[in-house]
């Protein structure tokens, strides 16, 4: 078994043609103050904070003053790192603890920093924060929606949902969604389509990039024979991620005599039942449960095939990161995965919740080194062309610029 990464030739970033990344007008944006309202509480510096820093620095470069408002106070070193770049980090305010306290604290922030716009991130679109911001005098309100799921309401329940959506989202000027799939879901839920802008997630391709030596290190650490294919998945172990389908596919591969080893990075409530399923199917020795992994990059760079079985995924950040790292990918044809992967060209898509189809696709790649290498190369190029962090940031800035220009 040959590593995908060993046959991969890195594509120079400068050689990739980028589309739809026109820089916003600095004159239109200059002098604005954006409060970025976050439903997150960082305990350390992660990729999320790195992207926030890059976004904030892009705002500053255009004459916009960013103010980061977390739900819990970050550690001193995280706060200082933001402030070293001229980014304000006021005391945190928590929406879940008290709506009234959040409303009062938001008013203080709006007055102190002369906030002209808010960018709401990680909250559900039906929170009351847009109304709070509007009542505090903020005219420009952008909600950034990224929650996964599938709309299931029917009949009168769907009508009530659409009414609630219409009322709650009245103050919102723009809704940024991370996929066309999510745009369709929100439109079905009653959000006016003229407010929605699609901006796919962006990958930090400086961090997530191929490493030709990663597979050898991973194989040596876990004593993996050269003829055994290395599979990986990075996922919270939650029902909509359907990790049991991947376990079942591994059992089918074992029955067919396909030598494969699966590494699962992530933890969650489903882990005990998944480990029990491994014992029941006789694949305990083929699956490694790694738990929470602070940095999955070496695993993504070292695997031959990355697999995901989610249903209703709003984007699939780990899938795109695996592609950027040079792994061939197999995913369910559900949610936004078809927007990331061109089936048969930059990865393989299979029917959702079908372990037989998943096993067939993995077996196909395990037995065809040339196809696996081709998909991997195309996957890297696709991410570098369409799903970079800088490209995503520029598109979000375009949303703000067009909003202010109206």
Give the CATH number for residue 365: 3.40.50.2000
The overall average pLDDT reported for the chain is 90
Answer yes or no: is 17 within a domain: no
Answer yes or no: is 10 within a domain: no
**pLDDT average, residue stretch 126-136:** 94
Residues in the chain: 406
The number of C-alpha atoms within 13 Å of 391 and in the hemisphere containing its C-beta is: 23
Which of residues 25 and 254 earns the better pLDDT score? 254
Q: Number of structural domains, the chain?
A: 2
Instruction: State residue 346's pLDDT score.
Output: 97
Q: With CA atoms as reference, report the closest residue to 70 among 84, 57, 87.
A: 87
Residue 345 has pLDDT above 80, yes or no: yes
**pLDDT average, residue stretch 164-186:** 93
One domain for residues 374 and 395: no
Residue 103 has pLDDT above 50, yes or no: yes
Confidence category of residue 24, pLDDT binned at 50, 70, 90: very low
Domain that holds residue 264: 214-386
Answer yes or no: is 252 within a domain: yes
pTM of the model: 0.88
Question: Could you tell me which residues are beta bridge partners of residue 196?
Answer: 175
Confidence category of residue 14, pLDDT binned at 50, 70, 90: very low
172: which 2 tokens?
Answer: 């919102």
Answer yes or no: is 208 within a domain: no
| Nearest-angstrom CA–CA distance, 350 and 332 | 5
| Nearest-angstrom CA–CA distance, 194 and 215 | 46
pLDDT digits (tens, 9 = 90+) for 269-293: 999 999 999 999 999 999 999 999 9
Answer yes or no: is 6 within a domain: no
| Nearest-angstrom CA–CA distance, 99 and 81 | 29
**pLDDT average, residue stretch 172-199:** 93
Confidence category of residue 27, pLDDT binned at 50, 70, 90: low
Residue 7 has pLDDT above 90, yes or no: no
| Nearest-angstrom CA–CA distance, 266 and 31 | 42
Q: CA 299, 301, 302: angle at the middle one, nearest 5? A: 65
Residue 26 has pLDDT above 90, yes or no: no
């Amino acid at each position: 078994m040959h590593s995908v990464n060993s046959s991969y030739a890195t594509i120079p970033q400068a050689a990739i043609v980028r589309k739809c990344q026109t820089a916003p007008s600095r004159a239109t944006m200059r002098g604005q103050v954006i409060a970025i309202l976050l439903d997150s509480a960082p305990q350390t510096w992660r990729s999320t904070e790195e992207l926030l820093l890059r976004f904030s620095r892009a705002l500053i470069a255009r004459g916009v003053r960013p103010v980061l408002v977390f739900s819990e106070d970050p550690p001193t070193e995280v706060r200082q790192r933001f402030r070293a770049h001229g980014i304000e980090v006021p005391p945190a305010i928590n929406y879940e603890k008290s709506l009234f306290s959040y409303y009062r604290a938001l008013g203080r922030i709006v007055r102190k920093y002369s906030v002209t716009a808010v960018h709401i991130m990680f909250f559900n679109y039906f929170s009351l924060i847009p109304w709070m911001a509007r009542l505090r005098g903020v005219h420009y309100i952008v909600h950034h929606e990224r929650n996964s799921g599938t709309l299931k309401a029917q009949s009168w329940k769907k009508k009530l949902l659409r009414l609630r959506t219409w009322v709650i989202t009245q103050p919102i000027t723009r809704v940024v969604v991370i996929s066309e799939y999510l745009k369709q879901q929100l439109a079905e839920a009653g959000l006016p389509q003229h407010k929605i802008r699609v901006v796919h997630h962006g990958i930090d391709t400086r961090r997530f990039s191929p490493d030709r030596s990663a597979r050898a290190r991973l194989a040596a650490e876990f004593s993996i024979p050269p003829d055994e294919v290395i599979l990986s998945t990075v996922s919270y172990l939650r029902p909509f991620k359907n990790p049991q389908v991947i376990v079942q596919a591994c059992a089918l591969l074992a029955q067919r005599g396909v030598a494969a080893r699966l590494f699962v990075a992530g933890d969650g409530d489903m882990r005990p039942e998944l480990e029990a399923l491994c014992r029941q199917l006789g694949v305990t020795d083929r699956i490694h449960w790694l738990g929470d992994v602070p940095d999955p990059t070496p695993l993504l760079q070292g695997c031959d095939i990355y697999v995901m079985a989610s249903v209703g995924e709003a984007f699939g950040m780990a899938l795109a990161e695996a592609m950027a790292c040079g792994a061939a990918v197999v995913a369910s044809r559900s949610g936004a995965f078809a927007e990331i992967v061109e089936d048969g060209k930059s990865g393989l898509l299979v029917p959702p919740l079908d372990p037989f189809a998943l096993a067939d696709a993995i077996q196909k790649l395990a037995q065809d080194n040339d196809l696996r290498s081709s998909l991997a190369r195309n996957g890297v190029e696709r991410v570098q062309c369409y799903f970079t962090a800088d490209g995503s940031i520029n598109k979000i800035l375009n949303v703000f610029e067009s909003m202010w220009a109206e």
